[in-house]
Structure 1
Amino acid sequence: MLVGVEYPELAERTGRFRFGAPHAVTVGDDGARVAFLRSEGPYDPAAALWVLTVSSGTITKIADGPVDSYAGSADLSVLAWARDGRLFRSGGEPSTAAPVVEPRPDPTGRAIGYTTPDGTLRVIGPDGDDELLAGEPGSGVSWGIAEPAAAEFGRARGWWWSPDGSRILAVRSAAAVSLHLLDLHGGWVDVHWDRETYPYLVDVRWTAGNPLITVLRRSQQHGLVLSVDPRTGETQVHAELADPRWVEPVPGTPLLLGDGRVLVGGELAHDGFDARCLFADGSLLTPPDLYVRRVVGLLAGTSELIVEATEGEPAEQHVFAVRTALGGAGTKARRLTTEPGWHRAHLGGDVLVIDDTVRRGAAVLALPSDAHPLPYRPQPALTKVTDRRLPTGVLYPAGHVTGTRLPVLLDLGDGPGHQHVVADPVRWQERQWWADAGFVVVSVDSRGTPGVAPSYEKVVHRRLADVALTDQIDALHGLTGKHPDLDLGRVAVRGTGLGGWLAACAVQRRPDVFRCGVAIDPITDWTRLSAAYAERYLGRQADNPEIYTHHALAPVDRASLLISPAGGLSEEREFVIRECA
């Protein structure tokens, strides 16, 4: 089976649409090296680890595949990865006292830390000795492993090296989450904050100076950015985050700027502005027409901050350089990408990688790629419909003849909270596969979707079902003027996870619009979800039981709704085709 050619739906789900393309890119702090993963052929799923030496353009293979993930020292001179519980590093295979999970060299490259399946944190020192740094085996307590709620805030890590490699800041996960500074030579310091009031540890960053952490109340409507004194564990408030619905920190923040100011993400919601912005010690840094998606980092030798952001068109993501220097010239952002599309960036020192291009000043290098061309060349018609300007994409079968009415497949993807209408051909491959089965495939970024404006994203608070479902239906009707070939008498709906829940809601609550639906691994009971996830949208169940009742699914009528596990696409398509015939 050639994944990505005969079966593109499986390729999209595993993120393997382009075997042979570089990914998981990391740039060393001094810009001397760029590490990345890439398989050695267009049909080879086993990614190898490579390093580009920027000054010479030399590319060296460090390890054969499969390497799923890796980490490096600050300058990437030492790289480490795990395979089947064994530790590997560039230049050898150190012996370990336990199975290895998430190995990570310290910034200097002298030591390597790792966690174990039983929740302990260990360090291999410069002399090769493997020592237990923290652990309580058999107690149900884990060290250095991200607690379940962390995933809801985009945090996958549970421990961090100090910049000099002498200490580790680690999460201790028990009934409540705590944070501790562990000295490699013995002893530890507890990090102090009001954990009862602010139980969620959203992010931790330790790139220079003192560690910075972000914590949230359980309601997620108020948070603090705290600086930690590594000697005492005491914390100082650098910024407050507040929103009457929920706080949404910008990835890549908080960040310590070169002049000592602390960069945080926030929202501008006055004087007609509705923007996701960056602030440094309370001063606005980004123009209010820029929707900041992620902070990449500071470009060495300049006063510019590199960010991924959207300017005007939510289907596109571009890379910008933002001026951070103090002065009276106001906010200023310089766009570095020119072609329409969805661009990504990585940064280290004075080297900037945009997509597959490495830039150092005027010099430009390309990361090597042996990727096979994408199986389809979809051309979705992107538009905005209704007075709410809902971003919408419409995809026809290849060779469609205008005037031929076709059934509609409303593809909800992963549902609200995930952007689907984007200018990235990879994201439309599976949809083209569905379209070629005889459908017009429609995707709508209803309210609740990021990328447009904060108010657009958060208006679903405590009324997700009503707002999201109304927008999907209104968008379908709003398309008929420009797309008369949509047969709205034959509409199917399909989604996964939260999108699966919304697909089931659509069939159950609006059978006048949706003839049938497929719910793939749907959310069926909001009360069984992580509190961090469910309460962001619905609030606490104890305070809002009627909201949870309103968002519950009715018993499933399998005559019109197929509940499918992930990967059952052939059965899904047969069901949808039959029901829409």
Structure 2
Amino acid sequence: MDFPRLVERTGHFRYGAPHSVTVGGDGRRVAFLRSTGPEDPASSLWVLNVSTATESLVAAGPLRAYATDRDATVAAFTREGRLFRADLARGTVTEVPTGEPAEDPRPDPLGTRIAYVSRAAGSPSLRVVGPDGDRLLAGESGNAWREHGGTIGWGVADEAARRFGRDRGWWWSPDGTQILAARTAASTSLHLLDLDFGWVDVHWDRETYPYVVSVRWADGGGPLITVLRRMQQHGLVLAVDPRTGETQVHAELADARWVEPVAGTPRHLPDGRVLVGGELAHDGFDARCLFADGSLLTPPTLYVRRVVGTVPRPGNPAPDLIVEGTDGDPAVQSVFRVRTSLGGGGAEARKVTGTPGWHRAETGGDVLVVDDVVWRGEARVAALGNLAAPLPYAPQPMLERVTDRRLPAAVLYPTGFVGGTKIPVLVSLGDGPGRQQVVTDPAAWQERQWWADNGFAVVSIDGRGTPGVAPSFEKVVHRRLVDVSLTDQADALKALLGKHPDLDLGAVAVRGKGLGGWLAAMAVLRRPDVFHRAVARSPIVDWFDEPAPLAERYLGDRRDSADVYAHHNLAEADPTDAVLLVGATVPGLPSVTTANLVEELAFLRAS
């Protein structure tokens, strides 16, 4: 298969590599998925026995996802609506009869029952199957579903939740006797459901705090939830009483622009303290940190991206946190052990990964998996077999920090490029502000290398609005996204010319998708002196039409910011043939329903 078709069909180059890793809570097993190849992107379920360092195939594909019980002894997954139960210790798979097609199945923590979502009646409902058969736990009548315009349901994440990264709609209690479920309608509510059909509502001021950003119920105690105001400038971390549904405020989150919770928080630490992600913005600090009951756990130099879990700390009853984060270079994601017992030494984080890269981790019991390597304490005990073929390209982007704002940037030349001649520039915006482009991950540069080998110096610039540097760097775009973003792109291009004199800034094309597609089009429309031709895939056209969580995060309250929204509106563009829209229509701009990479290349090469 040629490279453009490979990119557009699959979107990644990691076939044969392990992914979706789960470590059992007792540290005995590691479950994971592995796909077979680009012609068959669906994955199979494998399990690693940690003590023997041996892998075994449990269930051949096609699998898209799976879930396990607490100790990874049982896994559940679906195929075309049919529910299956896998015994990970024995390597056997059995089909579980259900009355309705199943999706999002999850075993209870003890592996006795499996709950799942069904859409058989139109409205999503929550069901449980176990020793006493397949039962409806929560659902709506067909009339209620129709009266709410088909938007009501149980156990699923609403659009707002997905915008905040919450893709789940229900959670088992640690003892497997209750389920905390979201009910989506005009607003999201939460309910504690007993398996004997008793239930209580979770109480908080839903009118003031309509967004349920995160829910966690896995670390002892009751559930912890994070809720935000509509403008996202204030939020609450609430502890839920699982008997009554009453909530208690554990922490407040506030920011004049928007609150950005840390993935993997809040959570209970083993000693009962609650871990919360937050920011330091005083005394010269500009940091994304972790706090335990108000005490700072992470050094201000560490930009925390995600809390993975905990592992034992040798010689200390208090465990270490495992954290994915950045310390200095925003292009690198490392894995750290963070001390949870402060003692007299203050916050302490020790880097686990030794080489620069984009590293990921998972934990369970005393086992830590970093990328493909399995560790128990300081000992490497196994590795997940990585059967991925070599990547098509070996890109060598030249990473820089440019302008007085130290914007992360990179230049990628054609393979074998010899300096001394001017070369056209392609600015790659990817998915736009909010998504990093400049990362030390070879897979992230494969498509850009294809563009480079077709005659461009590909430039990527992580301007303000991009995570990874500091909270203020990320949030300064509030209500002025287009102006700040385009200023950074233009200034960085000019600064790069000093180090890369072969860049032809008289021939600059720009390309992006979604939010990045909108910015690509705006670059040519607002700064034709710098950007000369653009391809915008599925761009935002009118911010008034975008989901409120996205639009209001960047542009503020749409009810009293009409001028800000108008300033960011692509639909008001003057006619030009220098912008090609793919999958969107704006009067006066060329547009097509679909386009492949070769067709985009031809447009961007045109003078």
TM-score normalised according to structure 1 size: 0.97
Structure 1: 5+ residue stretches without partners:
none
> What aligned pairs does 1:145-544 form with structure 2 within 5 A after superposition?
145-207=156-218, 208-300=220-312, 303-361=319-377, 362-544=379-561
Which position in structure 1 is the counterpart of 2:90? none
Which position in structure 2 is the counterpart of 1:95? 97
> Quick one: structure 1 residues 538 and 41, their matched pair in 2 at CA, closer, same or farther if it must change by over 3 Å?
closer
Distance in 2 (CA, whole Å) between partners of 1:355 and 1:119 is 39
For the pair 1:33 / 2:49, whether they are aligned, the reply is no
The farther-off stretch of 456-465 and 291-300 is 291-300
The SS at the match of 2:353 is coil
Which position in structure 1 is the counterpart of 2:604? 576
The SS at the match of 2:41 is coil
Cα offset for 1:10? 2.3
> Quick one: structure 1 residues 227 and 514, their matched pair in 2 at CA, closer, same or farther if it must change by over 3 Å?
same
> What aligned pairs does 1:53-72 form with structure 2 within 5 A after superposition?
53-72=49-68
Say whether the 8 Å CA contact 1:49–1:65 is kept in structure 2.
yes
> Quick one: structure 1 residues 75 and 95, their matched pair in 2 at CA, closer, same or farther if it must change by over 3 Å?
same
Distance in 2 (CA, whole Å) between partners of 1:399 and 1:59 is 41
Cα offset for 1:248? 0.1
> What aligned pairs does 1:9-20 form with structure 2 within 5 A after superposition?
9-10=7-8, 14-20=10-16
Picking from 576, 582, 594, the partner of 1:564 is 582
Say whether the 8 Å CA contact 1:120–1:137 is kept in structure 2.
no
Cα offset for 1:407? 0.4
1:99-158 deviation per Cα after TM superposition (whole angstroms, max 9, x unaligned):
111011111100000001233434344325100000004222200011110011100000
Picking from 98, 108, 111, the partner of 1:109 is 111
Distance in 2 (CA, whole Å) between partners of 1:310 and 1:173 is 36
1:507-554 deviation per Cα after TM superposition (whole angstroms, max 9, x unaligned):
111111111100000000101111111000101111111100111113
Distance in 2 (CA, whole Å) between partners of 1:535 and 1:201 is 16
1:198-254 deviation per Cα after TM superposition (whole angstroms, max 9, x unaligned):
111000000121100000011100000000001100001110000010000000000
Cα offset for 1:89? 1.4
Could you tell me the percent identity over the aligned residues? 64
Say whether the 8 Å CA contact 2:373–2:380 is kept in structure 1.
no
1:174-200 deviation per Cα after TM superposition (whole angstroms, max 9, x unaligned):
112100000001110000000011111
Structure 2: 5+ residue stretches without partners:
87-92, 146-151, 584-593
Say whether the 8 Å CA contact 1:171–1:178 is kept in structure 2.
yes
Which amino acid letter does the alignment assign opposite residue 190 of structure 1? Answer: D
Provide the alpha-carbon RMSD of the alignment. 1.4
Distance in 1 (CA, whole Å) between partners of 2:468 and 2:178 is 38
Say whether the 8 Å CA contact 1:19–1:43 is kept in structure 2.
no
The SS at the match of 1:92 is strand
Distance in 2 (CA, whole Å) between partners of 1:303 and 1:557 is 61
Aligned length: 575
Say whether the 8 Å CA contact 1:113–1:121 is kept in structure 2.
no
Say whether the 8 Å CA contact 2:125–2:140 is kept in structure 1.
no
Which amino acid letter does the alignment assign opposite residue 517 of structure 2? Answer: G
Which amino acid letter does the alignment assign opposite residue 415 of structure 2? Answer: A
Say whether the 8 Å CA contact 1:135–1:143 is kept in structure 2.
yes
Distance in 1 (CA, whole Å) between partners of 2:529 and 2:483 is 16
Which amino acid letter does the alignment assign opposite residue 563 of structure 2? Answer: E
The SS at the match of 1:384 is strand
> Quick one: structure 1 residues 556 and 51, their matched pair in 2 at CA, closer, same or farther if it must change by over 3 Å?
farther
Say whether the 8 Å CA contact 2:53–2:383 is kept in structure 1.
no
Say whether the 8 Å CA contact 1:94–1:128 is kept in structure 2.
no
1:334-392 deviation per Cα after TM superposition (whole angstroms, max 9, x unaligned):
00001111100011111000001011121321101211100000000000111011100
Question: Which structure exhibits the higher relative contact order, with contacts defined as CA atoms closer than 8 Å and separated by 6 or more residues?
Answer: 1
The SS at the match of 1:326 is coil
Say whether the 8 Å CA contact 1:152–1:533 is kept in structure 2.
yes
Say whether the 8 Å CA contact 1:391–1:421 is kept in structure 2.
yes
Which position in structure 1 is the counterpart of 2:567? 550
> Quick one: structure 1 residues 455 and 268, their matched pair in 2 at CA, closer, same or farther if it must change by over 3 Å?
same
Say whether the 8 Å CA contact 1:119–1:144 is kept in structure 2.
no
Which position in structure 1 is the counterpart of 2:131? 127
